[in-house]
Amino acid sequence: MGLEWEEKWLQEILKHSSKQRIFGHNFQIDLPKWYLDKISNGVLELEKQNAMYVGLPKVGRKLNLNGKIIDPLKLTQQKARSQITILNDALLERTLGKIKGTSEYDSESVSDLIDEEFLNKLLERWKYISARTQRRLRKLEGLEDSID
């Protein structure tokens, strides 16, 4: 069973939809419910595929040869910005939460990377933050820093 299970596990972690579900599970309190629904019903993966590749739509698991060609260039700037902001918001909240002692990571090696420097990089490299996250960050900022 060991080798067979390991092979299935490796195949699963290579799938983007599996990575999205794991992220959704780990960040479920930081993500909007509608976004978690998009992850669980496969819509997010379909949107990602449509934003990256030219192709034909699928009906079930088969290509719809009569369907309209999918054009990744039709992805709007607003939609791309929204996707990035949702993920960055979750990372901001979790990072500041770790600094303030309200969040933690299971992996010590990951936890060691999450600090003020990482928080500042997130803040510097993406200027968009949702109003909801701004409110939550202000609340977290009012807490004392955690002593590791």
What is the predicted pLDDT for the residue at 52?
Answer: 86
Confidence label for 120 from pLDDT (cuts 50, 70 and 90): very high
Whether the pLDDT of residue 67 is over 70: the answer is yes
Higher pLDDT: 125 or 56? It is 125
pLDDT of residue 63: 84
Determine the Cα–Cα distance for residues 49 and 83; give it in Å rounded to an integer.
Answer: 14
Q: Which amino acid is at 143?
A: L
Helix (H, G, I), strand (E, B) or coil at 69: coil
The pLDDT of residue 1: 64
Mean pLDDT confidence for 57-61: 81
d(CA 97, CA 76): 32
Q: Tokens standing for 94? A: 């979790």
H or E stretch at 59: strand 58-59
pLDDT at 138 over 90: yes
What integer pLDDT is reported at residue 41 of this predicted model? Answer: 93
* Residue 44 main-chain phi, psi, to 5 deg: -60, -45
Give the model confidence (pLDDT) of 82-116 as tens digits.
999 999 999 999 999 999 999 988 888 888 999 99
The number of residues making up the chain comes to 148
* Tokens linked to 106: 């299971």
13-17, 21-25, 37-41, 138-142: least confident range: 13-17
The rounded distance, in Å, linking the Cα atoms of 123 and 125 is 6
Give the model's confidence band at 147: pLDDT under 50 very low, under 70 low, under 90 confident, else very high: low
Which amino acid does the sequence have at 79?
A: K
pTM for the model:
0.79
Our measurement of the distance from residue 142's CA atom to the centroid of its chain's CA atoms, rounded to an integer in Å, reads 26
